[in-house]
Amino acid sequence: MISKINKLDLVIAIYIFIIVASELMGSKTFPLIDFAGIKINSSVAIFLMPFLFTINDVVVEVYGKKRAKSLVYSGLIVIVLLILYSLLVVHLPASGRFTMSQSYNEVFSLSIRISLASIVAFIFSELIDIAVFSKLRSKISGALWLRNNLSNFIAQLVDTTIFYFLAFYAPAKPFSHNLSFLAGLIFSYWLVKCMFSLIETPFVYWGVAWLKNEKN
CATH of the domain at 94: 1.10.1760
Q: Are 59 and 15 in contact (CB under 8 A)?
A: no
Is the pLDDT score of 89 beyond 60?
Answer: yes
pTM of the prediction? 0.86
Percent of the chain predicted with pLDDT > 70: 92
Q: Residues 149-175: what's their mean pLDDT? A: 90
Burial class (CB in 10 A: 0-12, 13-18, 19+), 206: exposed
* pLDDT attached to residue 36: 67
Q: Are 162 and 120 in contact (CB under 8 A)?
A: yes
Model pLDDT for residues 13-46, shown as the tens digit of each residue: 999 999 998 888 877 777 777 766 667 767 788 8
Q: Can you give the residue range of the structural domain that contains 108?
A: 2-215
**Domain count across the chain:** 1
